[in-house]
Every structure is written in C-alpha cells, then in structure tokens.
C-alpha cells in the first residue's frame, strides 16, 4: 500500500485515501519516519464510522513538499501495536486516540489521558486522579506548580521531582479548560461562526489559525485566493510573529530580573499591535482574516505608516538586544540553560522554533510553502545548542527577518479585488489539509465533509501539541529556579493544546 501524496491546501476525495489493514498501516507510516529526519507526522487522528474507528495518518516530507496520507478501519475493542514503540513522536497522538475511542496501543510507554475532553471515551478517568510519574525516595521531593497560577495565564499543572534544587523530572499535565472547539465546528453552520471559532483557538495566534481555516475552506470550495488576499495574510502573519517575539523577549527578561529589557521589549510590542488595530480594527487581528475576501486591503497610506513605525521600532529593538546580549548576568542565565539535544527534538517530533533551536529544520514557510512565501524564498533561522540562548536568538533574528520580508512586500502593493467569493458549496465526501507556519511553529487543520458537503470532522493541531514534552525535557538537571525562563523561552499554549 502506498499513501496518497498531497500538496499543502489540496482537497481530495475521501475515497482516494488508501485504506489498508492495521499491520500495513503501521509499517508504512513508521517506515516513512524512522531513519528519515526530513519526515514527521503532522496529524494522526480518528473518527467513528458505525461501530468502528477510521484512523488517518498524515506524514509530511519536507524534501518533496508532499504530505503522505493513509487510513485504516479498526475495531476499537481490539488492542493494536503502538506506533510510539517505533517513534516517540507518535506518543501524544496515540494518547489522544486512546482517550477519545478507548483503543489500547500495545507498547506505548504511558497511555495516559492527554486532554480530559468532555466527550472522552472513559469519563471515570478524571484529571483529579491523573497518574503522575513518581519516585519513592527519602532524598527526593516533589514540587507542584499550578494549575492556578499567579497571573492571568491559563491553567496547567507542572509536577517536578527534585533533588534539592536540581530538577530530575518534570511532568506537565494539561486538560483543565476546554471549549470543545472541534465539535463546535460541526455544530455551527455559518461560515462567519466557524471563522470566529478559528480566531478563538489560541488568542496569541489569531492570524495563524484563522489563515489555516481560511485555506481549508477555500480549498473545499474550489476557490483560489487572489493575490491581495494572500498578500494581507502574509504581512499579518509576520506582524503577529514580530509582536509575540517582542513580548516573549520582555517575558524572558522579567524571568531573569532584567528590568530594563522587560520594560523596553514590552513597550516595543505595542506599536506592532497598534498598527494591526489601525489596519484591521483589532490589535490581535480578530476580524481580519476572512475566507474568500480581503476585508482590509493594504493601502499606500498604511505603507507610509508602517515604514515610519519600523524606522522607530528597529533601532530601539536592536539597541536593546545589543545591551542584553553583552550583559554577563543575562548571558549566564541563557547559555546552557534548558538544553534539548538534536536527537531528542527529532525523536519527540518538535516543530517550529522548538525544533530549529537544536538544528532540526522544521519551517512550513520553506518546506510546504503557502500564501506569498514562495516569492520570499524563506530561509529558516537555525541554531544548534537547544538552550534558552538559542531560543532567544531565534526570536531576535526572526523579528529582523520578518521586518525585511514586510519591507519587501510593501514595495509592490497589489490592487484590491472588491469581489467577495460565495463559499457556500464545499465539495462533498472530501478531505483537505492545511499547514501554516505560525510564530510558534506548525499549525495543521484537517477537514472531512459528508455526502452533502457539510463538515463531518474538523481536526486542529496547534504546534504546542508537539512541543510541551520538549519543555519537560529542557529542565532536567537544571535548577528549579530556571524553570520560568525555560518556560517563557518556549511560550507554549494551554488553550491551543486543550481546545
């Protein structure tokens, strides 16, 4: 059996996805990844057909720019060999499938619930009785942080096992807060309702997730976005990246008690998001991305405003970075803190910055390009030490890269297309997959329609789904006081994980 090869944002008939027995499904998909660092699983999920579960696995090949898709129909009451026994990057996908359908995977190292969603298969398993890994020792102690935090961030629990100040193990348990977004995509019937849902997946990645949804819906409806639509989305994605990276640099400085950096980087986030409000009416870009249309065309007046803003932003941003990176007390907290090796980020399937920090090139803008990124010929920024210093360097350099891309784009503003496409006829019995590189990393949205063209399944994957384990590994053998700066240097999403 050979999987069907898709391009990013391509729609195919569900019947075109090869269906095979589980043993073949297992060998094909693990064979695509094991020994092939250019390949990784972008999504693996199931949905119910009668009394069985159809599993669909999507493996991206970064060298061919294709996504290999295959399927298998299984009896949820039967035990199945675990993909995770061959490649650790499948562990969270299989945990979710187990949680949703009760399928037991033989050889999985820890088949625990991953989300505690309301529609989980076994509701006797509650988050209050989550089976944390434990060590019985008189010399070691456990430290629990959360789920309620001293701030406005969302709930998540961090269970440390420590020897004095040294962290030996960290287990992260999420699943405290759900909105049931994937189910709501099926229940809500208007395009506007579904677009607003996409905007609400993760509040710091409004442009990223909504662009993924827009591409899915446009592909299902056979609509090719005009240049002005993709132009606005590309600029907005890079603006979102600049804003969050600047805010993260502020947060990292806060966590090492560097007040000047905290204040300056925090201030520099403001003009970026204020420009988005001036352009589209909302600082976080809600209401900005809409399938089939460009609500807020970029204008020459906006070009002048953006150039002026960057002219003021860039010198201050560069000066603050120069001051921070020559400060011994800052460097000593960044270097060799929170390291994750190349072998580990590869084995657990990390994406985005959490992969690129350790030399693993994972960036959808170059590997499966979309919107106007083929024109920009994007070159991912790669570091090799896998520590806080590498993550902070990526944030700094990506801000400069994003500004450069935007300056290139605004040299040639496309004419706005006043027409609005009527995207009310999705193709029936179809499958679509969209990959978008958000500021945090790879976003994946998958959709399946029924015989009437309505949504039968909508599957969302935020990059945090891949990367939380990397944070847990990063703090091993660090002091527990280093956890905040490690955590902020990743800046992973609770709501993007829990949905």
Q: Round to whole Å and give the CA distance between 116 and 29.
A: 27
- How do the domains of the chain map onto residue ranges? 4-114, 183-461
* Residue 412 exposed, middle or buried by CB count within 10 Å (0-12, 13-18, 19+): exposed
From residue 36, how far is each of 64, 278, 299 by CA, in Å?
13, 45, 45
Residue 149's pLDDT is 78
Domain 4-114 identical in fold to domain 183-461: no
Residue 269's pLDDT is 97
Q: Round to whole Å and give the CA distance between 200 and 158.
A: 25
Q: 86 or 419: which carries more pLDDT confidence?
A: 86
Q: Round to whole Å and give the CA distance between 19 and 12.
A: 14
Report the candidate in 142, 147, 108, 100 with the shortest Cα–Cα distance to residue 125: 100
The pLDDT of residue 280 is above 90: yes
Question: How many CA atoms lie less than 13 Å away from 50 in the CB half-sphere?
Answer: 4
> What residues have CB less than 8 Å from 459, skipping those under 6 apart?
43, 45, 182, 444, 445, 446, 447
Query: Which residues face 287 on adjacent strands?
Result: none
Phi–psi pair at 498, nearest 5 degrees: -75, -35
Contact between residue 486 and residue 478 where contact means Cβ atoms under 8 Å apart: yes
pLDDT digits (tens, 9 = 90+) for 241-260: 999 999 999 999 999 999 99
Q: Round to whole Å and give the CA distance between 112 and 467.
A: 17
What average pLDDT is seen over the chain?
95
If one looks up domain 183-461 in CATH, what number appears? 1.10.645.10
Residue 419's pLDDT is 77
- If pLDDT is split at 50, 70 and 90, which confidence band does 489 have? very high
pLDDT digits (tens, 9 = 90+) for 419-473: 777 898 899 999 999 999 999 999 999 999 999 999 999 999 999 999 999 999 9
Q: Round to whole Å and give the CA distance between 68 and 1.
A: 12
Say what the pTM is.
0.96
Q: What percent of the chain has pLDDT over 70?
A: 100
CATH superfamily label, 4-114: NADH:ubiquinone oxidoreductase Nqo5 subunit (3.30.460.80)
Six-digit token string for 106: 């033989």
* Other C-beta atoms lying within 10 Å of the C-beta of residue 118: 10
The pLDDT of residue 31 is above 80: yes
Contact between residue 376 and residue 240 where contact means Cβ atoms under 8 Å apart: no
């Amino acid at each position: 059996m050979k999987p069907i090869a898709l391009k990013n944002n391509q729609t195919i008939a569900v019947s075109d996805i090869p269906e095979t027995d589980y043993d073949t499904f297992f060998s094909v998909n693990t064979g695509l990844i094991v020994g092939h660092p250019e390949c990784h699983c972008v999504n693996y999920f199931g949905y119910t057909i009668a009394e069985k579960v159809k599993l669909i696995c999507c493996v991206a090949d970064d060298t061919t720019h294709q996504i290999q898709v295959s399927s298998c129909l299984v009896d949820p009451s039967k035990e199945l060999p675990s993909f995770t026994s061959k490649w650790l990057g499948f562990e969270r996908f299989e945990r979710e499938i187990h949680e949703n359908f009760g399928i037991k995977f033989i050889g999985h190292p820890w088949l625990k619930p991953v989300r505690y969603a309301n529609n989980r298969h076994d509701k006797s398993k509650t988050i209050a009785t989550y089976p944390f890994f434990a060590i019985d020792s008189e010399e070691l102690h456990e430290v629990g942080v959360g789920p309620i935090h001293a701030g406005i961030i969302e709930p998540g629990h961090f269970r440390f096992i420590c020897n004095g100040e040294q962290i030996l193990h960290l287990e992260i348990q999420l699943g405290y807060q759900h909105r049931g977004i994937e189910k709501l995509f099926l229940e809500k019937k208007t395009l506007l309702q579904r677009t607003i849902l996409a905007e609400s997946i993760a509040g710091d990645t409004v442009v990223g997730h909504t662009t993924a949804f827009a591409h899915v819906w446009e592909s299902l409806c056979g609509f090719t976005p005009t240049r002005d639509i993709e132009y606005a989305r590309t600029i907005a994605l890079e603006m979102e990246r600049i804003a969050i990276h600047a805010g993260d640099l502020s947060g990292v400085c806060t966590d090492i008690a560097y007040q000047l950096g905290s204040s300056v980087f925090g201030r520099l986030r403001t003009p970026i998001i204020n420009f988005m409000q001036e352009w589209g009416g909302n600082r976080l870009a809600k209401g900005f991305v809409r399938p089939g249309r460009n609500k807020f065309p970029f204008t020459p007046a906006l070009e002048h405003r953006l150039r002026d803003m960057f002219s003021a932003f860039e010198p201050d941003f560069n000066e603050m970075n120069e001051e921070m990176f020559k400060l011994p007390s800052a460097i000593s907290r960044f270097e060799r803190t929170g390291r994750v090796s190349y072998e580990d980020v590869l084995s657990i399937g990390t994406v985005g910055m959490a992969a690129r920090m350790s030399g693993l090139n994972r960036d959808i803008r170059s590997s499966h390009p979309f919107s106007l990124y083929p024109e920009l010929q994007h070159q991912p920024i790669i570091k090799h030490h896998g520590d806080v210093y590498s993550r902070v360097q990526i944030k700094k350099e990506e801000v400069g890269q994003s500004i450069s891309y935007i300056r290139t784009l605004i040299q040639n503003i496309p004419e706005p297309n006043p027409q609005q496409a009527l995207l009310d006829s999705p193709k029936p019995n179809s499958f679509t997959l969209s990959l978008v590189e958000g500021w945090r990393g790879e976003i994946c949205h998958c959709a399946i329609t029924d015989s009437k063209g309505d949504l039968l399944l909508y599957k969302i994957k935020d990059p945090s789904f891949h990367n939380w384990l990397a944070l847990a590994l990063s703090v091993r053998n660090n002091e527990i006081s280093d956890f905040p700066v490690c955590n902020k240097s990743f800046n992973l999403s609770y709501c993007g994980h829990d949905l």
